[in-house]
Structure 1
Amino acid sequence: MKIAIFSESYLPYLNGVSISIRILHEELTRRGYEVWIYAPRFRGHQDSYPTVRRLPSFYTPFEPDYPIAWLFAPRLWREFRTLGFDVVHTHTPFFTGMAGASWARRLRIPLVSTYHTLYEEYLHYVPPIVPKSLVRRVLRWHLKRYYEGVDAVMTPSEIGAEVLRKYGIRKPITPIRNPVLPFPEVNKAEARTQLGVPDDVWMLLYVGRMAPEKNVSVLLKAMPHIVRGCPNARLWLGGSRTRLR
């Protein structure tokens, strides 16, 4: 089987979606499937996989590290229609996903899509000059229109499925958890020694983007209450910072 994956988020950009797609790509390839990735072009990045294709992209001042793909990519389209894909799997309802959906429909290829992100939780990234109520209405209209146009929808959790049903989407929605790599065994005593953490300290660890939508502030607000009950508790935060206050 030959599969085309379209995603706005992919390496070298690191987030949950790009990592899950990398794992999906590697595992499907290991099982004998032929997988091609279509994602926006990143400045200065060279892909190691020969089946990764980069759509022309542009950057905005609002998210200068996150490229946005152009819908117009005639060279890639000409190649795409000769490759004989069996299924197209989009991981975004926006520019790259819209290109994938359009190409799949034009060639009558089965189209499935994964709804990864609760986009209404990201409205704080909208410039203040734009009314959030307007963005919310347009977003809901677009999501319903996009996901009603695919053959099947997947979500990493039941919460995502519930959100799509509230939007009025009637297509089949199947919750399928994102793939996770097994954690390597860690010698806790050695790790504590390397970090300089005494044995009697109770360690709490958060690893991920430190952004408003990740609710890291909940952990910070909870720590005084935790410390009252467990004075030796300490919180470690690891990850990149994006607009965390």
Structure 2
Amino acid sequence: MKVTIVTESFLPRVNGVTNSVCRITEQLAARGHEVLVVAPAPGREHYAGQAVRTVPALTLPCYRSFALGVPTARMRATVREFDPDIVHLASPIVLGAGGLAAARELDVPAVAVFQTDVAAFVRRYGLGAISPAVWHWLRRLHARADLTLVPSTPVMDELERRGVPRLALWPRGVDQERFHPRHRSDDLRARLAPNGETLIGYVGRLAAEKRPRMLADLAGLPGTRLVVVGDGPELDRLRRLLPDAAFTGFRTGRELSELVASLDVFVHTGADETFCQAVQEALAAGVPVVAPAAGGPLDLVRPGHNGLLFAPDDATDLRAAVGALVADPLARRLMSLNAARSVRGRGWDMICDRLLAHYSGVLGGATASEAA
């Protein structure tokens, strides 16, 4: 089939939305489907052998690494010329609204993916007063889609409570070649923990919505070294708060594979995650996870089995959870084995199969429950 993916973020910007769109584009192309990606500028002309078309974008003053795509008449014309069988809206906000309008003009189904908690995002940047308006806009947008795919059961419950219709669960995949226990590196560990310290790691954007400042509450845990992988506007502040931590900067490919697998405990601090791919990647690499008991991690972390959960706003609880794992190497070892097992069967090929089943459901006029 022909699929237009209208995404609020794409390369060269790297985040959860971009990652999902890349993986799905690769999977669809490998199956012989034709894909058109519509994304904010700047960007590339092709990805995975498929066409990419960019639209003008506005940079947000409070978050300069995110650009808001602007729907244009030319964008709608591009979609009409491609003549898709279905339009896939990746985390729709503004550009996604334009994609939905194009789908309606063409009278083809539109599947929306709820991936970013925009209302929580604006609260983290001191704009909580507009959160109700954001929810009103998102509810209206998703209500016009033929189906909204939701990454986790807590988010499904939230959207149901807010009156969003036609929901189905669609989690994220994980690259189980890139994230695997075999990438654990003794040489890397010797450099990061020269005195045999237990390595506690964070991987992700260093931005306010991820709450990385909570990592400061882990400073001084005996026999540990904190490893921070990522970049973002909070980097300089974190360097001051954590002078003894190892900051690696942004990493990809084999470097990232080795860094994640070489950790002893993975910590995630964000409390507004709709799924949390970083947690799933750590589990696939065989690393026990400590994460907030909120949002997507509730579907991924089974306390006492592959990690621990902490009360989302309780720094003392975070420190206690990490300290418990640091103090018990046997529990960590058992959780490590369980971690890798807990995400088996979640490769992107399987996740794409589920996506295609959802596509078939809406193309055949099925209800959301039938498509699920």
- Into which bin does the TM-score normalised by the smaller protein fall? 0.7 to 0.9
Task: Give the whole-Å Cα distance in 1 for the aligned partners of 2:162 and 2:153.
Answer: 14
1:180 pairs, out of 174, 192, 205, with 174
For the 8 Å contact 1:55–1:70, the answer to whether it is kept is yes
Task: Give the whole-Å Cα distance in 2 for the aligned partners of 1:108 and 1:196.
Answer: 56
Instruction: Give the match for residue 104 of structure 1.
Output: 103
Task: Give the whole-Å Cα distance in 2 for the aligned partners of 1:217 and 1:119.
Answer: 21
Task: Give the whole-Å Cα distance in 2 for the aligned partners of 1:11 and 1:51.
Answer: 13
Task: Give the whole-Å Cα distance in 2 for the aligned partners of 1:47 and 1:54.
Answer: 8
Task: Give the whole-Å Cα distance in 1 for the aligned partners of 2:65 and 2:197.
Answer: 37
Deviations, residues 165-198 of structure 1 (Å, cap 9, x unaligned): 12111x22122111221225324212223x2523
In structure 2, runs of 5+ residues without a counterpart are 238-372
SS at match of 1:218: helix
Instruction: Give the match for residue 167 of structure 1.
Output: 162
2:197 equivalent to 1:201? yes
Instruction: Give the match for residue 121 of structure 1.
Output: 120
For the 8 Å contact 2:156–2:169, the answer to whether it is kept is yes
2:234 equivalent to 1:237? no
Give 1:9 deviation, angstroms: 1.1
Give 1:199 deviation, angstroms: 6.3
Match of 1:232, as an amino acid? G
Instruction: Give the match for residue 67 of structure 2.
Output: 67
Matches within 5 A, 1:4-23: 4-23=4-23
1:213 pairs, out of 201, 209, 212, with 209
Instruction: Give the match for residue 145 of structure 2.
Output: 150
SS at match of 1:112: strand
Task: Give the whole-Å Cα distance in 2 for the aligned partners of 1:105 and 1:9.
Answer: 22
Task: Give the whole-Å Cα distance in 1 for the aligned partners of 2:210 and 2:65.
Answer: 19
Matches within 5 A, 1:52-63: 52-63=52-63
Match of 1:160, as an amino acid? V
For the 8 Å contact 1:55–1:73, the answer to whether it is kept is no
For the 8 Å contact 2:76–2:98, the answer to whether it is kept is no
2:187 pairs, out of 185, 190, 206, with 190
Give 1:81 deviation, angstroms: 1.2
Matches within 5 A, 1:44-55: 45-49=43-47, 50-55=50-55
Task: Give the whole-Å Cα distance in 1 for the aligned partners of 2:233 and 2:159.
Answer: 27
SS at match of 1:240: coil
Deviations, residues 101-148 of structure 1 (Å, cap 9, x unaligned): 00001111111111001222212465x6xx632x11211211111111
For the 8 Å contact 2:123–2:131, the answer to whether it is kept is no
Instruction: Give the match for residue 136 of structure 2.
Output: 141
For the 8 Å contact 2:113–2:148, the answer to whether it is kept is yes
Task: Give the whole-Å Cα distance in 2 for the aligned partners of 1:178 and 1:125.
Answer: 24
Task: Give the whole-Å Cα distance in 2 for the aligned partners of 1:111 and 1:217.
Answer: 39
Match of 1:61, as an amino acid? P
Match of 2:2, as an amino acid? K
Task: Give the whole-Å Cα distance in 2 for the aligned partners of 1:174 and 1:204.
Answer: 35
Question: Cα 1:223–1:162, aligned 2, differ >3 Å: closer, same or farther?
Answer: farther
What is the aligned length? 231
For the 8 Å contact 2:114–2:149, the answer to whether it is kept is yes
Q: TM-score, normalised by structure 2?
A: 0.58
SS at match of 1:181: coil
Give aligned-pair identity as a percent: 27
Bigger share in helix: 2
SS at match of 2:96: helix
Instruction: Give the match for residue 346 of structure 2.
Output: none
Question: Cα 1:199–1:187, aligned 2, differ >3 Å: closer, same or farther?
Answer: farther
Give 1:201 deviation, angstroms: 1.4
In structure 1, runs of 5+ residues without a counterpart are none
